[in-house]
Amino acid sequence: MLTVAMKRVNEFTKVSKNKVYETDLILYVLIVPFSADERIFETCFTVFDSKVAQIVKRLITLVTTKLHPDYLADYRDTLNVYLKILHQRSGFLDAVYYLPDKI
């Protein structure tokens, strides 16, 4: 589901070129894995954990480099919650380990 959703986000990004809309779409995609029980990240589905970490990394890059700094205040709390969950549950993965602890 995440791969297909990100494919659609990429198609939308090519058409719209609006980074704020892209950021909001990625947040919408991430609602699904983070709305479930946190223990889903420490199961044997490391591909799932890696994909979520990859999407979070893309979101961090968008917010910190592509958007105006004022948008950082809007997304910081949500990103920090996502990072905390990933580091607590999937810190053994390199993709998660190299993510920052906080924004």
Residue 84 scores a pLDDT above 70? yes
Chain position carrying tokens 């479930």:
36
Supply 64's token pair: 């910190």
Q: What is the pLDDT at residue 46?
A: 81
Tens of pLDDT, residues 29-78: 999 899 988 778 776 668 888 999 999 999 999 999 999 999 999 999 99
Contacts of 67 (CB under 8 A, 6+ apart): 19, 20, 23
Overall average pLDDT of the 73-91 stretch: 93
Integer Cα distance of 22 and 67 in angstroms: 11
pTM, two decimals, is: 0.91
Tens of pLDDT, residues 2-25: 999 999 999 999 999 999 999 999
Residue 90 scores a pLDDT above 80? yes
Contacts of 35 (CB under 8 A, 6+ apart): none
For 64-92, b/e burial (b = at least 16 CB within 10 A) is beebeeebeeebeebbeebbebbbebbee
Domain ranges, ordered by start, for the chain: 2-97
Q: Centre a 10 Å sphere on the Cβ of residue 41 and count the other Cβ atoms it contains.
A: 24
